[in-house]
Amino acid sequence: MVSYGLFTSRKERNRQRYRSDKFYRGTFTVILMVIVAQAFLAAAASALLTAEKRIDPETRTLELRLTRLESEEEQYGALLRKLKTVASLKPLIENRIPATKLVSNIEEAFLANEQVGLVELKLSNHFDLNDPNSKDDFTILITGAIKATSLIPTVILTDFTKTLGEKLPQAANVEISRNAVVQGADAFAPFEVRIHYTGP
């Protein structure tokens, strides 16, 4: 056998050597991967640019809309704040027991106890108009008199306060602040009942 590559030029032999050289093939693979990666990068960048160009008008429209909404929000801010307050007060208003109702309950208690007479009724409410979380805080001071009969006025007053407790809402606190005691030859024994009721 003759030698491989007989009479071939050095260039041709180099060509063959380079073809099978692992280092050159490896270098080529690396270069090819870099080129492919660059191509992918370029493709991705161009795709992003295209998408950006397409989205750009939509973005501008949305930005304009956002600005308009912000100005509208600013314009209706006061109203919104009021609406929020009203919304927070809504359950208070819906569940509120008005003073007239309490007075009506007290009237019913008087009607149920004929021996007991009303002299004066003082009603005060410590409701804070500036506090959205404020509740009705009624204090009712009843000044009355019990006609001296065969029955003991204290018993009559106890019955009366029991009736009040039944007629008034459960949260109402009824207490006798001045017991009905007959003073000398007076025909009526004066008394005072204090009712305290805090709204739900």
Partner 1 sequence: MLQFLSSYPWRYYLKTFLGKGRSARGVLLVKEDKVSMLSGVGGKLVFSSGLKELKGAPSLANSSKARPGTDFRKKALVDRSVGHSFEWIFVVDTPEVQIHQVDSLRYGGTGELTARRVMELVPSILKADLANWELVNSKLQPIEQDTTPVSILLGLPQSVVKELEGWSRQFQSIVSGILPLVLVLLDQSISLSPTGFHVVLTTNHTVIALTQEGEIRLITRVDPIKRLGVAQIDAIIGSFGDTFPEMAHHPARFISSDFSSAELANEAKDFSIPIVSTSHLEFLDLEEIIQGCGVAPIEAFALYRALCLVPLNPYQ
**Residues contributing to the site for partner 1 (CB under 8 A):** 1-9, 11-12, 14-20, 24-25, 28-29, 32
Q: Smaller CB distance to partner 1: residue 3 or 150?
A: 3
Rounded to a whole number of angstroms, the CA Rg of the chain reads 48
**Shortest gap between Cβ of 9 and partner 1 (angstroms)?**
6
Q: Smaller CB distance to partner 1: residue 27 or 61?
A: 27
**Shortest gap between Cβ of 26 and partner 1 (angstroms)?**
10
**Shortest gap between Cβ of 37 and partner 1 (angstroms)?**
16
**H or E segment at 174?**
strand 173-178
Q: Smaller CB distance to partner 1: residue 14 or 88?
A: 14
Region of 5 please: left (phi>0), alpha (psi -120 to 50) or beta. Answer: left
Q: Smaller CB distance to partner 1: residue 27 or 46?
A: 27
Is-contact 11 18, C-beta < 8 A?
A: no
Strand (E) positions, 34-172? Answer: 116-125, 137-147
In sign, the C-alpha dihedral spanning 171, 177, 183, 188 is: negative
119: its two tokens = 């002299």
**Shortest gap between Cβ of 49 and partner 1 (angstroms)?**
30
